[in-house]
Amino acid sequence: MDERANQRMRIQAATAALVIGAALLAAKFYAWRVTHSSAVLSDALESIINVVASAFAIVSVIMAAKPPDQSHPYGHGKIEFFSAGFEGALIVLAAFGIFKAGLAHILNPQPLPRLEIGLAVMVGASGVNVVLGLALIRVGRRTRSIALEADGRHVLTDVYTSVGVIVGLVLVRLTGWYWMDGLAACVVGVNILVTGFRLIRKAYQGLMDQADPDVLDRITAVVAAHRRPVWIDIHKLRAWRAGSRIHIDLHLILPRQMSLVDAHAEADDLENAILREVEGAVSVLVHMDPCDGDHCPICGQEDCRHRAQGFSGELPWRTERLTATGALTRGGNKPSP
């Protein structure tokens, strides 16, 4: 699927989430109005966050798709991490509002009229949110959109919230213990709080360019599959995300007698292999390093006039080696068995 189709799918998914979220929000506030349940109110409050987050997701998806420009040479993809963090912060704020309402109903329980209507609305909303949340996560992963994936996970937390509310209302209906309505709201608040902090943590990791082991493993697999005898070693492999775009740089060690033209051709071949086979990769910077005497045991160029040691064998290329900051990792210049 090309990037234009991906972008169209992202916008359609985000718009559907906004429209459906607004409809469910209205239904939940209606349920709260007829039941006066703090647990239902807690679910409705979180639904406000769903609608706001979905609107923000649309903006972030559109901005993230803008191509790089002079002011933003790496594109605008970081906005998606900000969107996920913003959503997490809103969830945390909603949790504290839920705690306040829940504690008030525990300390001062009130009768809950027309619980059947509230239960029917909550069950229906839960079913819709299950479908919506799973669809958003699927589209987010397929189109490499962290904003949509975060929105989908938030929608699924709304399902957990609704299930907690439903259980609380059923228990109130069976026992007549109205204080359990407030307890259910507080339990829901704890779950929401944990989810919010997880989203904030994920956004922080993306904004701080934390290494993604899965991406690095995919790059290593591609590089190892296309390895050539003149590619003596690779080190300082790095990769970072900007929304759906992945930027990569690495150091490639080549024979020191190789001409600049030939070395540039080797670097181009490596770049093209990564761009072609690593999904989401949009830029690859290969820094070419000349070999020295320490590389002779892992270099198979027998006709090199600079050879100072005999060839022992190639080192296996694994992620921990390719991401090392030095040309040779622990174990020296001897190939691993």
Banded pLDDT at 337 (limits 50, 70, 90): very low
d(CA 135, CA 17): 10
Banded pLDDT at 314 (limits 50, 70, 90): confident
pLDDT of 263 reads: 95
pLDDT of 83 reads: 73
Share of the chain above pLDDT 70, in %: 93
Whether this model's pTM surpasses 0.75: no
pLDDT of 149 reads: 82
Q: Mean of the pLDDT values across residues 29-48? A: 84
- Is the per-residue pLDDT at 336 higher than 70? no
- Is the per-residue pLDDT at 302 higher than 80? no
Which of 32-46, 185-199, 295-309, 317-331 has the least mean pLDDT? 317-331
Domain 3-207 in CATH 3.40.50.720? The answer is no
Share of the chain above pLDDT 90, in %: 26
pLDDT of 326 reads: 55
Superfamily of domain 213-322: Cation efflux protein, cytoplasmic domain (3.30.70.1350)
Cross-strand partners of 281: 246
Q: Mean of the pLDDT values across residues 13-28? A: 91
Q: How many residues does the chain have?
A: 337
- Is the per-residue pLDDT at 60 higher than 90? no
Q: Mean of the pLDDT values across residues 130-155? A: 84
pLDDT of 244 reads: 67
- Is the per-residue pLDDT at 331 higher than 50? no
| pLDDT tens readout for residues 247-291 | 999 999 999 989 999 999 999 999 999 999 998 888 999 999 999
- Is the per-residue pLDDT at 201 higher than 80? yes
Query: Whose structure tokens read 């995919």?
Result: 218
One-letter amino acid for residue 16 of the chain: A
Banded pLDDT at 294 (limits 50, 70, 90): confident
Q: Where are the domains of the chain?
A: 3-207, 213-322
